Amino acid sequence: MPAKSTQGRLKEILSVIRQYKLVTNFYHQTNPQAVREALEQLGPTFIKAGQLLSTRPDLVSPAYIKELQQLQDNVPPEPFLVAKKTVEAAIQQPIEEVFSSFDQHPFASASIGQTYHAQLTDGTKVVVKVQHHNVPEWVRTDLSLFDKALRILKIVPTGKSAINIDCAYQELRKSLLNEIDTKLEASNGAEFYRLNNGDGIIRVPKVYPQYSGQGVLVNQAMNGKSIKHYLAQPLAEDEQQRQAQQKERHYLAKELVRNFIKQVFDDHYFHADPHPGNILFYRLPVNDQPTLKTTHQWSKEVMGTSIATQTQTVLPPLRLVYLDFGMMGRLTPNLADGIAQIVLALNSKDEQAIGAAILAVCNRVGPVDEPRFYRQLGELISPYFNEELGDIDFADLLFHIIHLCEDNNLQVKSEVTLLVKAFGMLENTVAKLDPELSMMEVARPFAKKYFWQKFNFRNLVDEQLLALVKGVQSTSQFSTRINRFLQILSNGQVQINFRYQNERKVLKYLEKIVDRLMVVIILAAVILGSSILVKGSDDHSSINHIGMIGYLVAILVIIILLVSTLIERWRHRK
């Protein structure tokens, strides 16, 4: 990216925003093509921002997701000498002392950086991701300038916006800054490697933090190609071969789902960007030794002697590799419990249970009318109950649920939206592998198992016994309470409180009417008083002026009231 002055770059951003009506279109989620073209013209930072937004169905509409997925990185690779300087600055030693070989031409280049094949001095093959020169500086500069441009150009249209633009910008800013933090990515990769490498057929590249630094990330080189190449292979015409292919694809799909559910419910730490480009597939050579996987373990100590058994199965010669750990999600145990409840509620197709589960994973940012929320949620999700899970557009459903929650003063926790985004992204890959397999079908038994693991039978029995004792005590006092109620009723001391739907809105409207009425009464008094002053002050000009000022104030207030009433009615019509 060519160097530009801050003032020149700001003028460029403002010019593009005006030309494509970027803020207005994005605010209303209209004309996604114009927004995509604007981002492409603004350069790498904004291209990357658009790509990140295309993975956030909680922030932008499905139409925007589809359009922003077309954004392409047209960034030529930097000269090798520039990349070499970045690597040596990160490892603080000459490149030849760490790498026995280092390709001078990157095999991949994108908006943030480029990637090289290399080999450590001990012979280990690695992949080195090198950020473009001064990436952190110009990303932060562009974000700062875009923030200023928003403040200058953001107009507040009448009516309701399709999204919360400030929330979208803050989420985008956070994602972009995490994306360029290679130290964070190295830490994420090391943790994900510890938790998932060797889990069945799942493999994760090892991170070499001693050779990594800000702007440089060194990972173990992995075999395989993007799984999208595997998905593009057509099924064989021969029936027997086709069945073998379908069986293999079914196995791969189940392994992806099984491992993802493990990430969520066991590790509480999941890959938040599992698109096909971040998942590799390869086959082991025929002459490789078969790998065993432990499926069941049992151990018990009897009379001081430990007895243990385990069952092992042979893994097929297939491997799936996760890449790119810049975007990860982490859940608290309580949040994982809430998500398990949502999965179980979706399985039961119980609107009340689904609503209660959603409320449990939301923050309340204002008063919540729960009956209204349940009613609106039922209207939204009931049509989906008649569809197969594999046919549901989860991105579109999530987008509408997010906005339903916002309309009811509920804020879905960011960890949940990140998880559902990742869930939908992985389900897209799973659907291509095996269209008949639904992630929900595989997730359901895991959620049930997780629920039973958390279920404490002894605590439940204790709680039920306590409830039974309280119930018996209440029953023994039933006749006394009936007599007391009848006595209060006969004395005329009964007070019944009624609540009705939209109570707050009605009370607010009545309050506004009372305020207007008070203003009218005061205006009438001012006009009457001014009239008396004007009429009786023929010989006193100062008193006459006070009366005229009263008239002017009254007229001005009347005009303001009329204008505000007309504006309010016009907005209601909109």
Three-class DSSP category at 207: strand
How far is CA 74 from each of CA 47, 108, 110, 480, rounded to the nearest angstrom?
9, 12, 7, 82
Distance of alpha carbon 131 from its chain centroid, rounded?
26
- pLDDT (average), residues 5-9: 75
Exposure class string for 499-514: b at 16+ Cβ within 10 A, else e: eeeeeeeeeeeeeeee
Confidence bin at 164 (pLDDT 50/70/90): low
User: Distance from first CA to last CA of the chain, Å, rounded?
Assistant: 44
Cα dihedral sign, 83-78-143-37: negative
Q: Quick check: 326 pLDDT over 50?
A: yes
Cβ neighbours of 248 (radius 10 Å):
16
Least confident range of 261-270, 373-382, 505-514: 505-514
Confidence bin at 101 (pLDDT 50/70/90): very high
Residue pLDDT, tens place only, 127-157: 999 998 878 887 888 888 777 766 765 554 4
State the number of CA atoms in the 13 A half-sphere of 469 facing the CB.
5
> Crossing angle of helices 44-53/165-179, nearest 10°?
110
CA 151, 157, 163: angle at the middle one, nearest 5?
75
pLDDT computed for residue 506 by the predictor: 67
pLDDT computed for residue 1 by the predictor: 47
- pLDDT (average), residues 486-495: 66
Distance between CA 149 and CA 40 in Å, rounded?
A: 17
Distance between CA 574 and CA 570 in Å, rounded?
A: 6
Which of 103-112, 175-184, 260-269 tops mean pLDDT? Answer: 260-269
Residue pLDDT, tens place only, 42-91: 877 788 788 777 766 667 777 888 888 887 665 678 899 999 999 999 99
pLDDT computed for residue 388 by the predictor: 59
Distance of alpha carbon 220 from its chain centroid, rounded?
30
Which of 5-9, 39-43, 160-164, 488-492 tops mean pLDDT? Answer: 39-43
pLDDT computed for residue 460 by the predictor: 47
pLDDT computed for residue 53 by the predictor: 78
Q: Look up the pTM and report it.
A: 0.69
pLDDT computed for residue 248 by the predictor: 94
Residue pLDDT, tens place only, 456-468: 555 545 555 665 6
pLDDT computed for residue 478 by the predictor: 62
Distance between CA 231 and CA 335 in Å, rounded?
A: 34
pLDDT averaged over every residue in the chain: 79
Q: Quick check: 159 pLDDT over 50?
A: no
The first and second tokens of residue 301, run together, are 């100590």
Cβ neighbours of 262 (radius 10 Å):
17
